[in-house]
Amino acid sequence: MKTRIKELRLEKKLTQESLAKYLGINQATVSKLENESTIPDATLLIRLSRFFHVSTDYVLYLSEQRLSADLLLADNMHLLKKYQHLISLYQKMSPLQQQSCYRFLDNMLDDSHPSGL
């Protein structure tokens, strides 16, 4: 069965090994999936679609539409709930804790960028 796994992996500039590590499978399995010598089981197909933020139909060439409206809505609702939780935690902090939290997050972002960028 033809899949878009290789195409999606290359879009994200990932190696087979790095994709395999994320999915909890070995690199040989990713290679077999990309070469169409095996097909992903339902669980792996769902993990692939979530990782690449596309529908399972898109992964399997059953649709040209990357995301269905239902999937977009579900993903947005999940993010909204996560953000609401973070905001509620932040609001429970004292002003000093909020300031410390803000500095911590700001420093984390500064540390993640190589010098000079």
Kindly report, residue by residue over 70-89, the tens digit of the pLDDT.
666 777 788 888 899 999 99
| HSE (side-chain half, CA atoms, 13 Å) at 90 | 12
Alpha carbon distance 102, 86 (integer Å): 12
Kindly report, residue by residue over 1-57, the tens digit of the pLDDT.
688 999 999 999 999 999 999 999 999 999 999 998 998 999 999 999 989 989 898
What angle (nearest 5°) sits at the alpha carbon of residue 47, between those of residues 44 and 49?
Answer: 110
Instruction: Indicate the pTM of the whole model.
Output: 0.57
pLDDT of 114 strictly over 80: no
- Answer for the pair 44, 23: CB distance below 8 angstroms, yes or no: yes
Q: What b/e sequence results for 57-74 when a residue is b if at least 16 CB atoms lie within 10 Å of its CB, and e otherwise?
A: bbbbeeeeebbeeebeee
